Amino acid sequence: MRKPILSTHALVTGYRSRRHERILGRLPDLELYRGEMVCLIGPNGSGKSTLLKTLTGVIPPLSGSIYLSGLPLPSISAGDRARSIAVVLTGRPDSGFLTVRQLVVMGRYPHRRYGTGSKREDEAIVDRSLVLVGAEDLASMRASNLSDGEFQKVMIARALAQEPELLILDEPAAFLDLTRRVELMHLLRTIAREEGTSILLSSHDLELVLRSSDRVWLMEQRGGMRFGAPEDLVLNGVLEEVFHGEGVSFNRELGAFVADRPVLARAVVDFSDEEEAPIKMWTGRALSRIGVASVEDDDREHADFRIRIRRAETLCTWEVEDENGVRSFTSLYDLSRALDQEKGIARLD
Ligand SMILES: Nc1ncnc2c1ncn2[C@@H]1O[C@H](COP(=O)(O)OP(=O)(O)OP(=O)(O)O)[C@@H](O)[C@H]1O
């Protein structure tokens, strides 16, 4: 039977002072397996960072147990923990006068023992870690001069240099631009798959999480947790339920969160060719922004009008058919502007 790298039993997370106890999570028993990438998501303040700090032993649990490869976390020596778990938390630690390379070399410290280990091997691992995050050109720079995004990549390189069984990252993509965020998630997936590293990361980038993670741990505001494959959480409505009331709803058809706004009109969106499915999806997104909901053909009696997508090579046209006849548009900008004026603003009056 597969044994989890990380597991918990009856874990309760939160903070305790002399006079006060604040419980943030009463968690179901959690398991994280070798080579698995799990993303921890949840509304602001739901306790994601607190859970990650608890799992890494930075703060103690209020009650319950944490096991690393089957051993209770408190029974594992600091050295063994450092060899097994690498952690990238939020915040930018003071790197003093260290160069990027010197900072990443620190990831090798838990593996060094007097008189053992090859320096050349350590250097090769450091080089490889820098290349993996695309930071090899920064190696000789002083780390304090890096941008926040560059610094974050270097912290991930340091964690990779540690060659951990378990890599835990708190919002690793927070400072990265869109391209780097997509690249980072792809990189972490590759590390999980090819190196067998178990990865647990928290993120607010829900759409990227849904695409990249094997499993999602979804923290609820009232302290519980739901988990499953991202697609299961979409299809069984859990994602919608947990984020409901935050001013956004998850739209299953669009695979995206959309701001809650009144539906001003309904349209059937038709297309004749399967290749046009992405165009239909993007049409749906543009329409939802102006308060027009897409409905299926079966439901056409509830629709106010119909939009036909026609495509000839790279040229796309949208034909709107309603009580005023048929009009054609050659961009979604023109289509949505015209509909906004005709349907949206007219109805809001
Ligand atoms: N040391 C502490 N003592 C008491 N309460 C704390 C402490 N640190 C954090 N908290 C509180 O615990 C709650 C959860 O914080 P946490 O940072 O774990 O949430 P989060 O889900 O990671 O939030 P975000 O999505 O905004 O990053 C917050 O209300 C926070 O104010």
Ligand 1 pocket, Cβ-based, cut-off 6 angstroms: 15, 22, 24, 42, 44-50
Judge if ipTM > 0.95. Answer: yes
The amino acid occupying position 25 is G
- Which residues in the chain are classed under CATH 3.40.50.800? 263-348
Question: Separation of 19 CA from ligand 1 center, angstroms?
Answer: 18
Distance CA 188, CA 198 (A): 10
CA atoms within 13 A on the CB side of 90: 14
CATH of domain 6-248: 3.40.50.300
Residue ranges, the chain, pLDDT below 70 = 1, 113-118, 245-247, 254, 275, 343-349
- Which residues in the chain are classed under CATH 3.40.50.300? 6-248
Q: Please identify, by atom number, the ligand 1 atom nearest to the C-alpha of residue 219.
A: 21
CB contact at 8 A, 201 and 168: yes
Distance CA 305, CA 321 (A): 6
pTM across the whole model: 0.78
Question: Separation of 204 CA from ligand 1 center, angstroms?
Answer: 15
**CATH of the domain spanning 263-348, picked from 3.30.70.3000, 3.40.50.720, 3.40.50.800, 1.10.260.40:** 3.40.50.800
pLDDT of residue 343: 65
Distance CA 349, CA 347 (A): 5
pLDDT of residue 148: 84
